[in-house]
Structure 1
Amino acid sequence: MAFSTSFSHTKGSREFNGSLYNLITETKNWYDAKENCESLGGNLTDIRSSAEQDFIIELFDVYVKVWTGGSNAVDENTFSWLDGSAVSSGYTNWAPNQPWHPCGGIRCISVLQTWSYRWNDEACDNKMRSVCKFS
C-alpha cells in the first residue's frame, strides 16, 4: 500500500480487515483532521462494526478522545460518514443521550475513552487526536 506522505505525526500503523489505520497524535479540529487524513491518502475513520470499534480502541493507548469521520455537516438532522452513508443505517455506539445538540449547528463524532469508548457529538472546532483509515 503506497501513501502520499510519511506518517510523521502518527503513533503506529495497524491493519484490520484489509484497511490500514493510523492514530494521528497531533491535535486538530475535525476539519483539519479530515484534511490531514486526505493529504496522507486516507480518510477519517468510519466505524462499521463492534469488531472495528474494538480494534480502534486498541489504537488509543492513553489518549482520551479521537475524531472519526462522522458529522452532520450535510444535513443537521442526520449524522453521516464521509462516504455519505447514514451513521444510523448500521452499527452505532452512541453514549447515553447522544447525539444531543439542543442549540443546533454542525457537530462531529468523537470516541471518548472516559465514556467507555462510546460516541459523542461535539463541536467540530474542538481539537483532539484522530484516526485515519486507508482502504
Structure 2
Amino acid sequence: MLTELLFLLVGWCSSIVKGACPDGTFTYGNSCYLEFNIRATWAEASIICRAYDGYLANINDIHEQHVIETVVSRNIGGFSPGIFWLGGTDVQIEGEWVWTGNVQAMGSYKNWAPGEPNNANGNEHCLEMDMGGQYHWNDNNCENRFNFICEMPTADPGIGAGGQGVIG
C-alpha cells in the first residue's frame, strides 16, 4: 500500500501549480478539496495531505459542511466504506477538539451525531464523517483505516484553474 501511495503522490504532486487547484479537486472560498478513495489511518491521511501542501479538511461552518457533502456525494458508490477522516482531533487534551489545519479550537459550528463525541473504549481521538450517518461527525479510533478528504489553501480565492468547479 505504501508503494501505491508514494506512486500516486509523486505523479499527482508533480502536476501541481502553486496557487492553483489541481485537476480532480473542487474549490470553495480559499481552498481546494480532494477526496481520496484510499483507506489510511488518520496519521497516514494527514501525511498524505501534507504532501499536497494541505491538511485533512477542516469544517468551520454549515456552508463548508455542505461543500464537503457535495464533493463526497458526487462519488457515491465509489467509496467503501463511506466514512472519511476529517482534520479534527482531541489527542492532545481529551474533550478539547481542534482542527489540525489551523491548530485552533473548533468554532461554534459542529455537526456531531447524537451522543458524540463519546470516546468509546477510551481511544477515540480522531474525527470522521459518515455518509451513511447523514454526514454527521463521530470520534473514532485513529488507527482505523478510512477514506479521507484533504483541504489545500490557495494563494488567491479566485483561483480555481484545474479544479472541477467552484461550489458555493
TM-score by length of 1: 0.88
Choose from 104, 123, 134 the match for 1:85. Answer: 104
Is the contact between residue 116 and residue 138 of structure 2 (CA under 8 Å) also seen in structure 1?
Answer: yes
Per-residue CA deviation, residues 42-74 of structure 1 (Å, 9 max, x unaligned), is 111100011101010112122311000001111
Once the two structures are superposed, the pairs formed by residues 54-65 of structure 1 within 5 Å of their partners are: 54-60=66-72, 61-62=75-76, 63=79, 64-65=82-83
Q: Which residue matches 1:115? A: 133
Choose from 41, 46, 54 the match for 1:42. Answer: 54
Partner secondary structure for residue 73 of structure 1 = coil
Is the contact between residue 76 and residue 106 of structure 1 (CA under 8 Å) also seen in structure 2?
Answer: no
CA distance in 1, matches of 2:95, 2:129: 20
- TM-superposed deviation, 1:7: 5.8
CA distance in 1, matches of 2:120, 2:146: 23
Q: Structure 1 segments of 4 or more deviating over 6 A?
A: none
- Give the total of aligned pairs: 130
Richer in strand (by share): 1
Q: Which residue matches 1:27? A: 39
Partner secondary structure for residue 127 of structure 2 = strand
Is the contact between residue 111 and residue 120 of structure 1 (CA under 8 Å) also seen in structure 2?
Answer: yes
Partner secondary structure for residue 66 of structure 2 = helix
Is the contact between residue 25 and residue 130 of structure 1 (CA under 8 Å) also seen in structure 2?
Answer: yes
Richer in helix (by share): 2
Q: Which runs of 5+ in 2 are unaligned?
A: 1-8, 15-22, 154-168
Partner secondary structure for residue 46 of structure 1 = coil
- Percent identity, please: 26
Which shows bigger deviation, 11-20 or 62-71? 11-20
Q: Whose relative contact order is higher, 1 or 2, with alpha carbons under 8 Å and at least 6 apart?
A: 2
Per-residue CA deviation, residues 11-31 of structure 1 (Å, 9 max, x unaligned), is 921000121110111110100
Instruction: Look up the equivalent residue of 1:109 and give its one-letter code.
Output: L
Which structure would you say has the larger Rg?
A: 2
Q: Which runs of 5+ in 1 are unaligned?
A: none
Which shows bigger deviation, 37-46 or 60-69? 60-69
TM-score by length of 2: 0.71
When the two chains are superposed, the root-mean-square deviation of aligned CA atoms in Å is: 2.1
Partner secondary structure for residue 87 of structure 2 = strand
